[in-house]
Structure 1
Amino acid sequence: MRKIIRGPLPAPLPLACLTFTIAPLMMAATPARANDPAPSAVPAASAAASAADTAAEEQDSPTSVGTGAHDRGNEIFVTARRRQESSQEVPLAISVVGGEHIDSTGSFNVGRLQQLTPTLQFYSSNPRNTAVNIRGLGVPFGLTNDGIEQGVGIYVDDVYNSRVASATFDFLDVAQIEVLRGPQGTLYGKNTTAGAINITTNQPTFDFEGKAEVSIGNYNFKQAKAAISGPLTDRLAARLAISSTSRKGTIYNVVTGEHIQGQDNLGLRGQLLWKPTDNLDITLAGDFSAQDANCCGSVYVRTGLTQRALNRQFEALAAAQGYAPPSRNAFDRLTDLDTDLRAKNKIGGASLRVKWDLGEGSLTSISAWRFWDWDPSNDRDFTGLPIVALSQNPSQQDQYTQELRYNYSSDKIDFVVGAFGFYQRIDTQGTEAHGAASSRWNINPGSDTVVPPGSSGCGPTAAQQLACNPATLNGLTAYNTQYLKNTSAALFGQLSWHITPELTIQPGVRLNYDKKEGYYLRQVFDSAGNPVLTTGPASAIKTAQLAIFTPQEISPEFSDWNFSYDFTASYKVAPDVLVYATYAKSFKSGGINQNGVPTDTQNNPILAAATVKPEDVDHYELGIKSQFWDRRATLNLSIFRTDIKNYQANVNNGQFGVLRGYLANAGAVRSQGVEADFSVRPSERFNLYANGAYTDATYRRFSDAPCPPELSGGTTVTGTQTPGAAGVPNSLSPANCNISGQRLPGVSKWSFSFGAEVNNPATLFGKEGEVYFGYDGSYRSNFSSNPSPSAYTWVDGYSLSNFRLGFRAESGFDIYGWVRNAFDQNYFDQLFVGPGNTGLIAGLPGDPRTWGLTVRYGF
């Protein structure tokens, strides 16, 4: 029986937001008690019965916590440093989100989690092209390249997920999520230089328990979740969880009559816990997730003038073929993409975790295999014209990891030492083809004359005839074959030495080895199936075809050792006030350009561009964690600065040609800022939180960056020629641009999350409980949606408001109505520069107002 706490607050809840982003999170988290095991641990079988009896009296029960947290009068515990400890005792910038808060706010994947954690950035045009960054750092903004590492590590029950696509799946039976900010290489298996997202799922229990939840809403939203756990024998327990989400898309395709950008997700997770002895836990886990939505597309947003000839820009090219977008207002949410859209995505795997308690220390082994199958189809021209008829790059990944860790704790010393091994194999088979509208769109007829629709010819010149003949490029097809072998190994460790009860110093080290071997082959064929080669006799048709697709074959390789270290000193100024300072030196592994490299004037690959150097990271941080008013209030602050040399940047190509994008090293990047969190809970009936971050993330030195669209498309300058003004047609274009001092893409200078909840005792359907009303809001200022900031791709700042009203009973019953983006704010998740330097800007609108009802029951 669950018991709702009445009367005076037994003990204020120390919120879990470390250096900032967590007030709601903390309040949302279901706190572990001081005598409870870490979220990933399970009580010994012999102790299970007594633990169950205690839990029956004190089981998570809703109180005044606005974010749906449950008060047991104790602290929130985390495992960020690979051991269980109070979040306020950890000298680390960390955000903690409880599983219940994830459910009650509809934050069922990382994309929605960013509304609760202001320094987390998430961008996804489709599952493969997904970026998860912290403080503006992690992976380059734009097209995904398999040849580099992600700077933000995603871990589920200690298992590293190497593909960011895993972030697009629904959270499944989650206990809590910790977002660690800053380099984490001396604690975590993979050397994640920007931070880590540590997801802990609910573990098998030796008490029978279960929960179920059903939600319905507009846009035909349907979501169901269920989990059940219990003993199979006195030494063997099992847990099974399932989740299903579906929703009609929010964009209507006038060509196909279908809604796109929908959701169709299924997730399964099963776990077996065997305790042959009281000090040995062996957990076997398996999971599978699938997505099969009608996805992913875009809408027309605007056009902006480039330096191309005026007759080669979007409006003239569209008029020449009698084309107009279905709407000039992006928030009509209409598109006319004429290529089949597909985003089939499957991720799963199995893991074996062995934890042996040795008294003061414990030995942990995690062996895991994971797979990822990606089957896409995209419309790469962003229009309803058959320019790009086919664009798809399906891939298959297998990854194997082995981590061995020893943790030791005593009054004076705590430490963790570990070894980590990683192997990954990715195979990709790409197909790209152009359609009947490609010739007129892509071939310059050499005249400013705009050819009327239906005209039989452009004029007497060969270029004009080529441009007006659909057969020139129609059916031109490129087949891409590539693979990647990625091997990594590391030794790491971190020591906490408690010099006095107040003063602790914490050094950490990491020795890392990385090796990448790649292969890329592009073969090009005309509509008759004849190979199009860079060798042999030249012709006007062949030149036009090679400008679209250029054959290429490369075998890039990279390998290197690096040594990382960090040092943290923390001091307890008072029992509830901790100050700390950190310096970290880390490296992000070098990489290879797995999607091809630029070519020279003879169409030969520039092999010097096949590899990118490692990022060299220097990180500094100061923080204070404090609680006051009998721990009813929490205030945490941190300031940070991260300097990166040889930052791995994404370079976008303005043409359809050999490359959509490739990697290059920017000279230097800096991210610095301030993070703050405040939360207060004056009584069990009310709580309030506010989190904020100021992030100044800029290129400090990038003098040879790709130019934005307004400085592209014209004839490239040579010698002493002077480039033309931005956005002036028929101008000379610079070969590259100096964007030093400009902001990194995807980063808002200001971001906030805030909210509150109030409740009151009530009776409904004969059940005693409480009625509650909650609000969660977020705000972020404008950000650039292009690797090189462009006047055409700034996304305006926006604010979102979410409300919920419901009743929860002491029996475990909970029913509530919710509305998200309550004021129907129009905003963009991302903007895209159309190919070909035509000035087309497409975009992905954020979700409109959604509303629904959720019913939940747990026992």
Structure 2
Amino acid sequence: MLATLPMLLLAQTALASQTVVITDAGAASAVAATAAVTTPVVDEAPEDEAAEKSGGAGDIVVTARRRTERVQEVPIALSVIGGEELQKSGAFNVNRLQQQLPSLQFYSSNPRNSAINIRGLGAPFGLTNDGIEQGVGFYVDGVYIGRIGASTFDFVDVERVEVLRGPQGTLYGKNTTAGALNVTTRAPSFSPEARVEVSGGNYDFVQAKASASGPLADNLALRLSASATTRKGTIYDVTSDEYLHRQRNLGLRGALLWKATDTLDLTLSGDFNVQNPECCVQYYARVGRTQRPLARQYDALAAAFGYSPPSKNPFDRVTDLDASINSRQEIGGVSLVANWDVGAATLTSVSAWRYWDWQPQNDRDFTGLPITTVSQNPSQQRQVSQEIRLASNGKNKLDYTVGAFFFHQTINTQGSQVQGSAASRFLLSGADASNPNVLNGLTSTNTINFDNTSFAVFGKLNWAVTDKLHIQPGLRVNYDKKSGFYDAVVSLHNSQYDFVATADNVAALLAANPAGSAARTTFQNQINTLAPQRYSPRFSAWNVSGDVTLSYDFSPDVHGYATYSRSFKSGGINLSGLPLNSTSTGVDLTTQTVKPEKVNAYELGLKTQFLDRRLTLNLAGFWTDITDYQATVNNNAINVIRGYLANAGKVRSRGAEFDASFRPSKRLNLYVNGAFTDAKYIDFKNAPCPPELSGGTATAPGGVTDPAGTPGGRSPAYCDISGQRLPGISKWSFSFGGEYNVPVGGSGGEVYVGYDGSYRSRFSSNPSPSAYTWIEGGSLSNFRLGYRKNDFNVFAWVRNAFNRDYFELLSTQSGSTGLIVGQPGDPRTFGGTISKSF
């Protein structure tokens, strides 16, 4: 995706012979000066004389550097989707956005456990570990959002979404090694305006959006906006007689723009979002053989309880979860953005405070059996950030952007996990497996704290060696300091024991029971299931990043560039529990921290336009090598439910991307975008094993093992998965579609029909590729048919029109039972939308 911006072009169907100019509204960030546009307004008048004469299909021109600059000439991999196109396609959050951007991947088992990846890189696949950074930066109006979980809100009054690929640390406040995703909301206006949009559909879907803006004084403008979404769930829970995977979202936003002088403006913004979706459910998908004895695999275990799920066809969309389900979150904050034009340059300040409160409840065993009856990690995040940038104005022989960034974040988590009466049979072996009292009521209460401080200075030059040749070097110096605290206290109350086990007394409690005794075995089984542990990890380091881009304008419509980036993703600390050491009485403290990722990225790009700019074709090839890649592992440890972090030796992501858009007339728009991504572990010799090799008798490294899926077999201590594919990544992905309109009524009205499709090939849904967790590829199709005139638009829509059954995620049940659970994608939905601007 190379700045073709075909989706935004589709939104401008009425401007077939005009240049679309995205201008600076006085609050554009200096970051945007070279890469993207922030806080814009849209001016439909032609700005570029050459483009005006071409009669071509709507060039997109950015002026965030206070000079006219066609996006096609910006040497960076960049895609933009405008607010109108978001409305038409139904992409009202990040999850739906990925269907339009082949290089973007978004995965979420619930809002907290979400990941945004670009070109297959960004965050390790699996449950979230708070102690590490995200490789893809998420920004709202220039403010960095410290946790991806806080990115799952519905878009409210959005002007545009921009996706940048590759390392961005020399231009962006936070160091991002895989890319950045920017959401820009509509700015306050000095001309009175209002927008109203209402949608309704099946599953009792109702969504309403409204915004209003206007002047309060000659130099003061206000904008208020709101969005509310509700929808019945798509999965029926027979236990609670409720539909899960519902939507209950509310978003409010306000912005106040003060034009203090002709050269100084300040924008004060605030937002509040609350979601209570009762998601995200995973349930029976299939069963595969593991290395556990056959009597301890899922089929036999379920039969022992006389249990069967309500359906073994996951697309019947019915489950019987016996634990409470909740995914409530509250997101909000305030920011102040100031822009001061000092003549030769613009000084920008972005100050922000944000919070995120997360209140989950889960059924972590994914069945109607009381195995794990409570598993939740409520957490509260607070962050403050300050960014200052200075960017040169005009179009000079040497332009620059320099800046400094400070970020401080705290996260406090109160975790709890409770085992039920079926836990002993599912998780234990020997005599204790038949005694439900061994694990019934076993409770772990976790206190987890995280403190993260980051500081950086960065800069980027643009040297025009000639009118056609530009050299753009960048540099970043970064400091990160992280500290944490993890304390798990385990309580058990039954006929045998009544005690509280902590990291301090567990050894004494073990010693009080003679080795080899039944009591000692029972106690050992309990602490192996939920181990008391306490540790305080620390990490701090400086690093230096840099990049250089060479760009050349072969002609006014053919532009090439080459980029090399050396970047770092900060080291991290493990805050989800550590694996037990060899004595099973303590934790392996060598796994407290993970080293920084070191990234070398190479990219070649070519941006072209033909036929009076009616046809756009952009190409790029990329190659990224990462050493000390941060991966989520669990080594089959029952007590580390969420997994812990480790460094893989080396990972490589390489591939090619293209964007193509064609406007043969102002009545017809067509586009197709594609990406080939080959992302592999190059060196990961001590990885966790897939489920088919897990659960058997443990063997020493290098010892004799049995073939995969041998009940009662011998399992390797770890597996070499070098050469295998990274999880969550399709080798091939495409988006495609178009829109055709016909004038009616002779007064500017038109009827239109549109189609948006996407395709992704199969991908692995397990950190170590497994035969049981491949998600097969397929396509999704969305249609719309409507009428619009001036500021009025009404259309009917259908999404997933052919009702394709597919999984968003597949996971394994703890304990190597062989149960594979899945989270299905949305079924076919249909409805209508009506909107009006005033």
The answer to whether the aligner puts 1:830 opposite 2:809 as a matched pair is yes
Q: Supply the distance in 1 between the matched residues of 2:617 and 2:26 (Cα, whole angstroms).
A: 28
Q: Which amino acid aligns with 2:413?
A: T
Q: Is contact 1:782–1:796 with CA below 8 Å preserved after alignment?
A: yes
- 1:313 alignment partner AA: Q
Find out whether 1:580 has 2:594 as its counterpart: no
Alignment of 1:773-792 (within 5 A): 773-792=753-772
Stretches of structure 2 lacking an aligned partner (at least 5 in a row): 29-40, 47-54, 514-519
Aligned to 1:456: none
Distance in 1 (CA, whole Å) between partners of 2:288 and 2:198 is 46
Pairing 1:170–2:154 present? yes
TM-score (norm 1): 0.90
The Cα shift of 1:35 comes to 6.5
Report the Cα distance in structure 2 between the residues aligned to 1:534 and 1:698, rounded to whole angstroms: 41
Aligned to 1:436: 421
Contact 2:594–2:647 (8 Å) recurs in 1: yes
Residues 81, 737 of structure 1: alpha-carbon distance in 2 compared, 3 angstrom cutoff:
farther
Which residue of structure 1 aligns with residue 835 of structure 2? Answer: 856
How many pairs are equivalent? 799
Q: Is the 8 A contact 2:650 2:682 kept in 1?
A: yes
* Residue 818 in structure 1 maps to residue 800 in structure 2: no
Residue matched to 1:150: 134
CA distance in 2, matches of 1:579, 1:698: 28
Aligned counterpart, 2:10: 27
Say whether the 8 Å CA contact 1:377–1:391 is kept in structure 2: yes
Q: 1:225 aligns with which of 209, 214, 222?
A: 209
C-alpha displacement at 1:79, in angstroms? 7.8
Does the alignment pair 1:534 with 2:515? no
Q: 2: CA distance between counterparts of 1:594 and 1:469?
A: 32
* TM-superposition CA deviations, 1:572-615 (whole Å, max 9, x none): 00111100000000000000001121121222221111000000
Match of 1:757, SS state, is strand
CA separation of 1:79 and 1:575: change in aligned 2, threshold 3 A: closer
Q: Aligned partners of 1:320 and 1:628: how far apart in 2?
A: 69
Q: Distance in 2 between matches of 1:739 and 1:620?
A: 25
User: 2:440 is paired with a residue of what secondary structure?
Assistant: coil
- Stretches of structure 1 that go unaligned for 5 or more consecutive residues are 1-16, 43-53, 60-70, 446-462
Partner of 1:237: 221
Counterpart selection for 1:38 from 7, 10, 24: 24
Structure 1 pair 748/723, CA: closer, same or farther in 2 (3 Å)? same
CA contact (8 A) 2:170 2:546 kept: yes
In the alignment, which residue of structure 2 is the partner of 1:192?
A: 176
Q: Which amino acid aligns with 2:88?
A: S
Deviations for 1:305-330, whole angstroms, at most 9, x for unmatched residues?
00000001000000001111111111
Per the alignment, in what secondary structure is the counterpart of residue 311 of structure 1? helix
Q: Distance in 1 between matches of 2:707 and 2:770?
A: 14
Contact 2:95 2:106 in 1 (8 A): yes
Distance of 1:554 and 1:762 partners within structure 2 = 70
**Per-residue deviation, 1:469:** 2.7
Identify the match of residue 778 of structure 2 among 781, 791, 798: 798
Instruction: Quote how far apart the aligned CAs of 1:78 are.
Output: 4.9
Q: Which of 407, 426, 437 is matched with 2:411 structurally?
A: 426
Distance 1:341 1:57, change over 3 A: closer
2:64 & 2:763 partners in 1: Cα distance? 30
Task: Find 1:513's aligned residue among 473, 479, 487.
Answer: 479
- Deviation (angstroms), 1:56: 10
1:498 to 464, 482, 489: 464
**Map of 2:33 onto structure 1:** none
2:649 maps to which residue? 667
User: Residue 844 of structure 1 corresponds to which residue in structure 2?
Assistant: 823
Kept in 1: contact 2:195–2:211 (CA 8 A):
yes
Deviation at 1:414, TM superposition (A): 1.7
What CA distance in whole angstroms lies between the structure 2 residues aligned with 1:23 and 1:730? 55
Query: SS where residue 500 of structure 2 aligns?
Result: coil
Aligned counterparts, 1:539-558, within 5 A: 539-558=520-539
- Determine the C-alpha separation between the residues in 2 that align with 1:84 and 1:519: 51
In the TM superposition, what are the counterparts of 1:200-599 in structure 2 within 5 Å?
A: 200-409=184-393, 410-445=395-430, 463=431, 466-527=432-493, 530-532=499-501, 533-535=505-507, 536=509, 537-538=512-513, 539-599=520-580
1:509/1:564 contact within 8 Å kept: yes
Between the two proteins, what is the percent identity of the paired residues? 58
Give the one of 158, 166, 174 matched to 1:182.
166
In the alignment, the residues of structure 2 paired with residue 682 and residue 41 of structure 1 have an alpha-carbon distance, to the nearest angstrom, of 36
Alignment RMSD: 2.1
Residues 56 and 97 (structure 1), Cα distance of their counterparts in 2 relative to 1, 3 Å cut: closer
Secondary structure of 1:37 counterpart = strand
Q: Call closer, same or farther: CA 1:37–1:57 in 2, change over 3 Å.
A: closer
- Deviation, structure 1 residue 55: 8.8
Cα distance in 2 for residues equivalent to 1:579 and 1:850: 42
- Cα deviation for residue 776 of structure 1 reads 0.4
Residue 110 of structure 1 corresponds to 94
Q: 1:693 to 1:55 in 2, by over 3 A?
A: closer
Offset, 1:374: 0.3
Deviating more after overlay: 604-613 vs 179-188: 604-613
Residue number in structure 1 paired with 2:114? 130
Amino acid at match of 1:803: F
SS in 1 for 2:722: coil
SS in 2 for 1:730: coil
1:101 is paired with a residue whose SS is helix
Alignment partners' CA distance in 2, 1:787 and 1:367? 38
Q: What's the offset of the Cα at 1:659?
A: 4.1
Amino acid at match of 2:819: L
Deviations 1:258-281 (A, max 9, x none): 111111111111000011111111
1:754 maps to which of 730, 736, 741 = 736
Q: Are positions 1:159 and 2:143 aligned together?
A: yes
Q: Secondary structure of 1:705's match? A: coil
Partner Cα distance (2:500, 2:767) in 1: 34
Shift of 1:57: 9.0
For residues 129-152 of structure 1, give each alpha carbon's deviation from its aligned partner in whole angstroms, at most 9, with x where no partner exists. Answer: 001000000000001011000000
Which whole-Å deviations, capped at 9, do the CAs of 1:751-785 have from their partners, x for residues lacking one? 0000011001113xx97410000000000000000
2:140–2:184 Cα contact (<8 Å) kept:
yes
